Amino acid sequence: MPRWLYFFLIFAISSPLLAVFHAPPILIFIITGLGILPLAALLGVGVEDVAEHTGERIGGLLFATFGNATELIIGIFALSQGLVSVVSASIIGSILGNILLVLGVSVFVGSFKHGRLKFETRPASMYASLLALCIAGLLLPSVAEFVAAQSHQLQIVEHGIILSDFVAVLLLIGYLASLLFSVFHVGDKHTNEEELEPLFGARSEAAILRLLAYRHKVAESSVPGKTGMLNQIDGTLKAIVTHEGTQPSISKKEEPDTEKKPPLWRGLLILTIATIAVAVLSEILVSAIEPVTEILHWNPAFVGLIFIPLIGGLPEYFNTITMALDKRIGMVLAASAGSSIQIALLIAPILVLVRSQKMVNLSGSRASSLSLFMRLWGELFSFSAPESACNHNGMVST
């Protein structure tokens, strides 16, 4: 967590006080939004501390569960107050924010500093498949209601909520299947191959290939004294293999284990306090949305589309851009595309299934659904290339 975010904890403390003393709604909205920023970052810190003790698989599951907890909590409180348009717009805004804003800025700054950035096609292909599932799930209710309305089939329009519930369950099943594959490696046939460490370095492997090719030529030639040359080549190959085989073990023994794991209780305490604090501030934030929109004459959906995603994900946005500056484009894709996939396959279905009194479905406005479709469809072509790279001019394939 960046140090400057700790300063914003002052706003997290000030927000309940302003609500108690009935401060102006605009001031409460701004202060509460700034107060949620460090709490969202603290959720990530708590998950990281707990993941140090639970191992890679459980840690990955925790990251997948708490990655967008702030958006989920804000969405639940917004639904409880009947702000359905705010929730629908926040889902679209969070997905587009990660795919458009975060991924675009990260690729631009990363490639501007390091040139062309290459990423592995296998995880990118998995993101592309999940994004395709997101497109189908989010567009199906809107398309079904539109076609039914055009053909005057009012019965389908009236049962749009049931269709949304059915699609939400399917999306949750798809999300669980992706977790089983990515976190627990169920059905992943390439896991053992990827976990094996390479025996030779790149230079040693090239040298061995050249020596083997030269040995083959010498063995087939009629040069006198070739037996001695073959023995010398074999000795050189044996020396390279022996050196590369022992080098990793020596380096591992020489590395001192200086890093200490943070205590488990600290991670659990941070996670608990941050979750409770986010819940309290989310209720205050949601209560201020309607007065703020009335004063500024804004559409509530505009607040959900722009401000709610920024409040919940701004710390993650900065972390993703920092990864791009460190030339970790694989982690950039995992953070940006993975967050969008999680919102579409986990957060949106949960908000549909746990709605309170006011009914919400997956059929948002046609304009927002169309923009989401066009953007995600463009990402599919970028992610599914055989050999992919990106630069500051955009995603390209080579």
- pLDDT (0 to 100) of residue 142: 77
| Residue-range definition of the domain harbouring residue 333 | 3-189+257-397
In whole angstroms, give the CA distance from residue 336 to residue 355: 27
- Judge whether 248 lies within some domain: yes
Instruction: Looking at the structure, tell me whether residues 16 and 56 fall in a common domain.
Output: yes
**End-to-end Cα distance, the chain:** 36
Q: Is residue 196 part of a domain?
A: no
What's the domain count of the chain?
2
* Inside any domain, residue 197: no
Residue 340 CB coordination number (10 Å): 28
In a domain, 82, yes or no: yes
pLDDT of residue 252: 42
The answer to whether residues 165 and 227 belong to one domain is no
Last residue within a domain, chosen from 213, 231, 254: 254
Please count the other Cβ atoms lying within 10 Å of the Cβ belonging to residue 296.
12
What's the pLDDT at 102? Answer: 87
Mean pLDDT, the chain cut into blocks of 10 residues (398 residues total): 83 93 93 91 84 70 74 88 85 84 88 84 80 81 77 69 83 86 67 42 56 72 70 71 54 49 86 90 92 90 87 81 83 82 88 64 52 52 53 52
Q: Please give the model's pTM, rounded to 2 decimal places.
A: 0.71
> Which CA distances in Å does 90 have to 129, 130, 312, 377, 395?
23, 20, 10, 20, 26
Residue 195 lies in a domain: no
Strands 394-397 and 117-119: unpaired
| Contacts of 249 by beta carbon, 8 Å cutoff, 6+ apart | none
Q: Do 393 and 245 share a structural domain?
A: no
**123 shares a domain with 269:** yes
Q: What is the pLDDT, as a whole number, of residue 256?
A: 46
Q: What's the rounded Cα separation, in Å, for the pair 389 and 324?
A: 13
Which of these, 398, 397, 389, 359, lies nearest to 107 by C-alpha position?
389
Residue 331 lies in a domain: yes
Asked if 222 and 363 sit in the same domain, the reply is: no
| pLDDT value of position 243 | 59
* pLDDT value of residue 168: 86
> pLDDT value at position 357?
43
The verdict on 89 and 63 lying in the same domain is yes
- CA angle, residues 328, 308, 266, in degrees to nearest 5: 60
Specify whether 281 is located in the same domain as 185.
Answer: yes
Quick one: 210 and 270 in the same domain? no
Output the pLDDT for position 157: 60
- To which residue do tokens 């919940």 refer? 312
Q: Are residues 91 and 49 in the same domain?
A: yes
Question: Cα–Cα distance between 391 and 326 in angstroms, integer?
Answer: 15
Last residue of a domain, one of 239, 254, 269: 254
Determine, yes or no, domain membership for 87: yes
Q: How far apart are CA 215 and CA 383, in angstroms?
A: 42
Residue 138 sits in the same domain as residue 27 = yes
Q: Determine the pLDDT at residue 287.
A: 92
Gap between the Cα atoms of 103 and 378, Å rounded: 13
Task: Give dist(CA 74, CA 124) in Å, integer.
Answer: 30
291 and 344 co-located in one domain: yes
Tell me, yes or no, whether 245 and 270 share the same domain.
Answer: no
In a domain, 131, yes or no: yes
